[in-house]
Amino acid sequence: MCKRYLLPLAMVLLFMIFTGCTASKENGAVTPEPDTPPRSAEEATNAYFDFDDIPVPKEMETKPDESILFHSPNLKAGAVVFEGRVEAISLFDFFINNMPKENWHLRSYFKYGRYIMVFEKPNKDCIIRIIDASFTTELQIWVTPRFPGETDKLRGPEAVPETNLMQ
């Protein structure tokens, strides 16, 4: 006899749960939302985690157990690992489009199969690696400082002879 009432009772409870939230407004009165400044679409989709000049899509979540960060008064460096349900190519495009807005200069990249991007600023480098898996995508952001004076040595005309790699 108890089983006979169980299904109708469950249906009534589900109906009350789903309709109860919408029926709680009295006489159709709607309370106004507090005034908040409108956010740009970019602010709504970007987040800044440990590095304040590297945007990351909000769909990505940090993996602290796989990350390492060094922070001192004069330096912040390390590798921060993220995971999320984002397509690898869209993540690649995100960084290609957004890193220059933070004054990062793209030096080189690998695309398809393996995604690796190398960005630079005058005093530091950033390497971004994207690993496409079955259900999620892993993002690794590596930031390292430059050795003092090394920028000029690496950029001089005698540092790397120009060759045609397409021969």
Query: What does the alpha-carbon distance between residue 160 and residue 54 come to, in Å, rounded to a whole number?
Result: 29
Flag whether 64 is in a domain.
no
134-161: pLDDT as tens digits? 899 999 999 999 887 755 555 555 554 4
Considering only CA atoms, which of 115, 123, 119 is closest in space to residue 98? 119
Q: What pTM was computed for the model?
A: 0.64
Flag whether 150 is in a domain.
yes
| Cβ burial 55-89 (10 Å sphere, 16+ → b, else e) | bbbebbebeeeebeeeeeeeebbbbbbbbbebebe
Flag whether 162 is in a domain.
no
Query: What does the alpha-carbon distance between residue 39 and residue 52 come to, in Å, rounded to a whole number?
Result: 19
Query: What does the alpha-carbon distance between residue 47 and residue 30 come to, in Å, rounded to a whole number?
Result: 32
What's the farthest any 2 CA atoms get from each other in the chain? 92
When pLDDT is averaged across residues 11-23 and rounded to a whole number, the result is 47
Number of domains in the chain: 1
Flag whether 141 is in a domain.
yes
pLDDT at 155: 56
67 HSE (CA, 13 A, CB side): 22
Flag whether 17 is in a domain.
no
pLDDT at 134: 86
pLDDT at 47: 72
Domain that holds residue 117: 78-156
Flag whether 5 is in a domain.
no
CATH number assigned to the domain comprising residue 140: 3.30.310.80
Flag whether 32 is in a domain.
no
